[in-house]
Amino acid sequence: MNKLSLSPNMQGALWGLLSAVSFVFMSVLLHILGDSVSLSMMIFWRSLAGLLVILPMAFSSKDAWVVKRPIPVLMRSLFTTIALFSSFYAFAHLPIAHAQAISFSRALFITVLAFFVLHEKVAWRRITATIVGFVGVLIMTRPSAQMDFASIVAILSAFTFALSIITIKELTKDHSPLSLVLWVNIFTTLAGLPFIAFDPVIPTLPQMGLLLLMGLFGTGSQLFYVRGLNVGDVTLLSIMDYVRLPLSVLLGYLFFKEVPDKYSIIGAVIVIGSTLYITLREAQLGKTKAQL
């Protein structure tokens, strides 16, 4: 009997799905722990768990420790650390689905940064979709009415994640994915240490178990995504990431009785619609260029 063989794109899609599901479960645990464990404690244990998972793989690979451009690697690690810390605050203080929806705006920031930082040519359709997407963000956050601090932090997280992704685009030319993941986890763990000094409370045994589980889900999400990038199409992987929103709505209701209001729903539909258009449009343009 022949073994079931999956195409590289199907494998990439499955890895992307695992990444999205792991990320949502991490955010649920963040929300649960947010009422009893400090933000600094959650950040530290998430980072430490990631480092412990990465180190065995790193010790078996010489390329993982090679840094050919220290300053860009340092900047990428700094952007990712700010994004990670900000996202933890946002997910701990906002409804899960609301925080997830705002996180998708990073694709919009990537478009802006690609134009100003990488000097890429951006067609009018992409510019229009980006503007429409930012309108969706404004609808969700309603800055004139109740622009709470957690929403501002969520937007900061999306922006710094976009900066990190823009930086990765350059670094992958001469650095392995494992190397980039390794140094980010080292940086975030070291950055989280000072926060522990301000919050020396030892977590209870149940809290420690949830912290470790949260760290494993977060690290798993990161590793699954990198694995998906290695075997499948990046566009398909990006589309699978949208599973996060309906799953967040479902788990937000089941665990916390959270029901998104009409502004969050309308804004989320606009943001996801615009980012999905940008993703599919870029994929179409990429295929057209490849055929020329």
Closest to 264 in 3D by CA, of 168, 136, 154, 161: 136
Domain for residue 126, yes or no?
A: yes
- Residue 290 is predicted with a pLDDT of 47
Name residue, tokens 């029901």: 259
CB 176 within 8 A of CB 108: no
Q: What are the tens digits of pLDDT across the range 170-198? A: 787 788 878 888 898 899 888 888 877 77
Task: State the Cα–Cα distance between residues 115 and 122, nearest whole angstrom.
Answer: 7
Which percentage of the chain shows pLDDT scores above 90? 11
Domain for residue 265, yes or no?
A: yes
Domain for residue 50, yes or no?
A: yes
Task: State the Cα–Cα distance between residues 98 and 106, nearest whole angstrom.
Answer: 14
What range defines the domain where residue 226 resides? 11-291
Domain for residue 5, yes or no?
A: no
Average pLDDT, the chain: 81
Confidence of residue 106 (pLDDT cuts 50, 70, 90): confident
Q: What are the tens digits of pLDDT across the range 114-158? A: 778 777 777 778 788 888 888 888 787 776 545 688 889 999 999
Closest to 46 in 3D by CA, of 213, 252, 270: 213
Domain for residue 62, yes or no?
A: yes
- Residue 287 is predicted with a pLDDT of 54
- Residue 291 is predicted with a pLDDT of 47
Domain for residue 6, yes or no?
A: no
Q: What are the tens digits of pLDDT across the range 25-70? A: 999 998 888 778 877 778 887 778 778 878 888 898 888 898 999 9
